[in-house]
Every structure is written in C-alpha cells, then in structure tokens.
Amino acid sequence: MSLLLVLVAVLSGPLATAGSHASPAADPDTIREWNTIATDTIGTNLGATRPSGQVVIWHGFVSAAVYNAVVGIRGDYAPYKWRVRGPSTASPEAAAVAAAHRVLVTYFPASQAPLDAAYAESLARIPEGSAKTQGVAFGERAAAHLIELREGDGRDARVRFTAPPAPGVWRPTPPGHQTFIDPWLGRLRPMLLTSPAQFRPGVPPALSSPRYARDVNEVRAMGARTGSSRTALQTETALFFGGNLAVQIQAALRDYTARHRLGIAETARLFAAANTSATDAVVAAWDAKLHYGRWRPITAIQLAETDGNPATPADPQWQPLLVTPPHPDYLSGHAAVTGAVTQTLSGLLGTRRLDLTFFSEATGTTRHYAYADRLNDDMINARVWAGIHFRSADVAGCQAGSRIGVWAVAHYFHPLRSSHTQAAPAARPVCPKNGTR
C-alpha cells in the first residue's frame, strides 16, 4: 500500500504536470507593483500634469514587455510580436520584474537609482534558485525584444504644425499660448495598428454647418468658467476627468485585477491589451490633430465673427472652465483613449459590464462604472463641460478608440490553451453615436 501511495504522489506531482507549463511563484501582485512603479517613474520624468498623450506611450511599452515575459513562460496567451518561449520552470514573477525594470531604466536613465532599489527589493522576495535565475534572464530577453521593436519608431521626430492661422485652424491658446506639444505622436509607429491613419475619422463639421453651430453654442453655455449652465454634478464631472487620465486608468486596472483575483498571466494580458490599445489611440488622436488642425473652443468662440456662421455670435471675453491643452481639438485624446480601453476590455471579458472604479486627484472623489458606455458618456460630456472640446471631437475620438479596441482583440493577445476561452468583442458599441447631453 505504501508503494502505491508513493506512485500516486509521483504521478500527481511535477512529473505529471511537466507538459502543462506550470511554474513556481506566480503572484500577480508583481504586475501591479511594477505598474505603480512605472506610473511614478513616468510621472517623475515627464511631469505629472503634462498635457500630452506621451504619458500613455510608455505604459504601452512596459506592459507589452511584461506581458511577453510572463506569457512566454506560462504559455497561456500568444506573445506580442514575438515567437520565443521561455523555460516552463522559470519564475514569471522574476521575469515580470526584470522586464519592467529593464524597459524603464532604458527609457528613463535618470531614475536608475530608485528603479534599481525597487528591483532589488522585488527580487529579494522571490526564493533563490534556478526558477528565479531563469525568470530574470527571460524577462531581460523580453525587454530587449520590445526595445528593439521600438527602435526608429519616430519618437521625438521633428514634426511641426505649419498651418497658418485662419478661421477654423488651430493656433496657440491662452493663457500660455504654448506651441503644439509632442506633434511627433501623430507620426509614431503604432503598437497594434498598421498606420497612424488606419482609423482616421472623417472631416469635422464644416464651419457653416448647423452641427458646428450646435457644438459651439453648447460649449459656450456649458463649458464657460463663469456664468455657465452646468449643474454642480456636471462641474464635478468635468473636473474629475481633468487630470492625468493615464494615472486614473492604471489605478483602475490595478484595482480591477486585484478584486477579481486574476492570475498573473490574465493580469499581464489585461494591462498589455489596455495599454497598447491606449497607445495607439494616442497616435490616432495626434494623427487627426495634425491632419485636420481644428481650432479649440476658446478660439472659435472668441473669434466667432470670422467663421461665416450667423448662428455663432462672438464672445471675445469667453474663458473655459479648464485650461485648454496645447494641441488641436479634433479629435479628443481623452475620449479616444477611454474608448480604446473600454472596447478592449469589453472584448477580452466578453461583456460591456466592466466594473471599473476611478479615482480623481483633482476632486478627491471616486466613481464606479459598471458599464463601458456610461464611462464613455461621462468622458465625452466632461470635455465639453470643461470647455476644452467640441462634442464632435469627443464622439469622433471615442469611436476611433473603439475601432482600435476591436482591432486589438481581433489580432492580438489570443488564448493558446484550450482551458482559456477567447471572448468575442462585445456586440454593442461602447461609444454613443452622438453623445449624451
């Protein structure tokens, strides 16, 4: 009988599971920890309030490297633009730590000291042995592959907005009259799409059109700093989404993956899919901003006597609730990123019910969004009520982002094991056709 028990123990142990890619230490908290470190590092180097989509790009890079490091060992999902597999006995935790650290140190060398300290602290919690050594080595390989993929991708290229001032054309806005920030984002090689213009929307409403007049007059009434028609809740909504959206999204993803107890591979996949689609949403938004160069509401309202539309009276003293970011109106980067992330998550999860909780440092409040379309509605409205976007730019942004999310789920991050069922993209769109009012 004792011999039989020994045989059963052997067959049910490592020998029996050797082909299932089971790995030792696999705590998903590692993914969340290094996402927090990445958020802090990016904020320190770029400035927490930088009015540019560039912040999103770096999260895409880090998350993709971490994803490849983890799934290359676990074998759950198709790696991102990589065919290499790591040893199934390696620690995916160690791989994730090594990949995130290497990407961040490469792109933010000024933060090497705190990153090295965090790296040592994270690795110290992983037991010594071959699993840890193999994991670190594979994580370094995953990071090196991502860094090589992004070489010559157009970062910091000399791209300029050269359209001369004219009715409808963007120009620097008060109070800082800052030039177009990071225009190279519109020429950056996407992470998932085939080109920045793949989902470029159609032209914005003509200045002479009734739709344009509705856009202008809505922002004039609802987005004014003083004397607006906003309710207290609408003002809070505008302020809630007036800060660093990338920080809000990362925190929401950390909270979701923890509450829903996703495994390490599922957690890495969720961050990678959301952040790479968000990256391409920024690229698509800046492509449209460069291509169309549409002026912002503050310019349109103050100079309305030049637009040729009798339904848009000028108000030279009009000011928006929030300071206008230094780049064109069409299309909205915030709406594009939110549309991309919500559509991607809806596709991965197979439902529009997302259960996301957002926190805003600007208001000190928390909001829970059960459904994707409600979050997108609030984002569209928030940018109008803040006085910094026309509704057409917000709706077009959300819809472009949604198309990116559908593309992301259709072409990347697929399950490889039969035990993982692939969720189809949510049947209903996550963006409204015209936005709520």
Token code pair at residue 105:
């140190």
Nearest 5°: the CA angle 377, 379, 381 is 70
Number of neighbouring beta carbons within 10 Å of residue 436: 12
Q: How confident is the model at residue 12, as a pLDDT?
A: 33
Does a cis peptide bond (omega within 30 degrees of 0) precede residue 175?
yes
In terms of Cα–Cα distance, which of 143, 129, 126 is closest to 84? 143
Q: Where are the domains of the chain?
A: 22-149, 208-411
Round to whole Å and give the CA distance between 322 and 174. Answer: 11
Q: How many CA atoms lie within 13 A of 180 on its CB side?
A: 24
Round to whole Å and give the CA distance between 187 and 1. Answer: 71
What is the per-residue pLDDT across 207-254, written as a single tens digit (0 to 9) for each?
Answer: 999 999 999 999 999 999 999 999 999 999 999 999 899 999 999 999
Assign 24 a pLDDT band (cuts: 50, 70, 90): very low
| Mean pLDDT of the 410-424 span | 75
Assign 51 a pLDDT band (cuts: 50, 70, 90): confident
Assign 59 a pLDDT band (cuts: 50, 70, 90): very high
Residue pair 196/283 in contact (Cβ under 8 Å)? The answer is: yes
What is the per-residue pLDDT across 102-119, written as a single tens digit (0 to 9) for each?
Answer: 999 999 999 999 999 999
Does the pLDDT value for residue 37 go beyond 90?
A: yes
Round to whole Å and give the CA distance between 64 and 120. Answer: 22
Q: How confident is the model at residue 122, as a pLDDT?
A: 98
Q: Which range has the worst mean pLDDT, 24-33, 39-48, 136-145, 185-194?
A: 24-33
Q: How confident is the model at residue 60, as a pLDDT?
A: 98
What is the per-residue pLDDT across 366-410, written as a single tens digit (0 to 9) for each?
Answer: 999 999 999 999 999 999 999 999 999 999 999 999 999 999 999
Beta bridge partners of 360: 365
Does the pLDDT value for residue 430 go beyond 90?
A: no
Token code pair at residue 226:
């003083």
Q: How confident is the model at residue 91, as a pLDDT?
A: 97
Residue pair 374/310 in contact (Cβ under 8 Å)? The answer is: no
Q: How confident is the model at residue 429, as a pLDDT?
A: 75
Token code pair at residue 79:
């790696």
Beta bridge partners of 294: 169
Residue pair 207/168 in contact (Cβ under 8 Å)? The answer is: yes
Token code pair at residue 241:
């989404």
Q: How confident is the model at residue 2, as a pLDDT?
A: 38
Does the pLDDT value for residue 194 go beyond 90?
A: yes
Looking at the chain, the number of H-run helices and the number of E-run strands are: 14, 2
Q: Which residues make Cβ contacts (< 8 Å) with residue 130, sequence separation at least 6? A: 89
The hierarchical CATH code for the domain 208-411 is: 1.10.606.10
In terms of Cα–Cα distance, which of 41, 28, 155, 153 is closest to 101? 41
Number of neighbouring beta carbons within 10 Å of residue 42: 27
The residue among 218 and 51 whose pLDDT is bigger is 218
Q: How confident is the model at residue 14, as a pLDDT?
A: 32
| Mean pLDDT of the 176-188 span | 97
Torsion of CA 370, 371, 376, 377, to 10 degrees: -90
Which helix H or strand E contains 299, and what residues bound it? helix 297-302
Q: Cα 351 to the chain's mean position, in Å?
A: 19
Q: Tell me which amino acid residue 187 is.
A: R
Round to whole Å and give the CA distance between 372 and 347. Answer: 11
Q: How confident is the model at residue 423, as a pLDDT?
A: 55
Distances (CA, A) of 343 to 151, 253, 400: 28, 14, 11
Assign 81 a pLDDT band (cuts: 50, 70, 90): very high
Round to whole Å and give the CA distance between 238 and 231. Answer: 11
Assign 11 a pLDDT band (cuts: 50, 70, 90): very low
Does the pLDDT value for residue 414 go beyond 90?
A: yes
Does the pLDDT value for residue 258 go beyond 80?
A: yes
Residue pair 71/265 in contact (Cβ under 8 Å)? The answer is: yes
Does the pLDDT value for residue 419 go beyond 80?
A: no
Does the pLDDT value for residue 6 go beyond 50?
A: no
The residue among 424 and 364 whose pLDDT is bigger is 364
Round to whole Å and give the CA distance between 371 and 369. Answer: 6
Round to whole Å and give the CA distance between 374 and 380. Answer: 10
Q: How confident is the model at residue 15, as a pLDDT?
A: 28
Does the pLDDT value for residue 420 go beyond 80?
A: no
In terms of Cα–Cα distance, which of 322, 350, 304 is closest to 240? 322
Q: Which range has the worst mean pLDDT, 51-65, 268-282, 290-304, 407-421?
A: 407-421
Q: How confident is the model at residue 433, as a pLDDT?
A: 74
C-alpha radius of gyration, the chain, whole number: 23
Mean pLDDT, the chain, whole residue set:
92
Does the pLDDT value for residue 16 go beyond 50?
A: no
Does the pLDDT value for residue 89 go beyond 90?
A: yes
In terms of Cα–Cα distance, which of 367, 264, 190 is closest to 34? 264
Q: How confident is the model at residue 47, as a pLDDT?
A: 81
Residue pair 74/23 in contact (Cβ under 8 Å)? The answer is: yes
Q: How confident is the model at residue 424, as a pLDDT?
A: 53
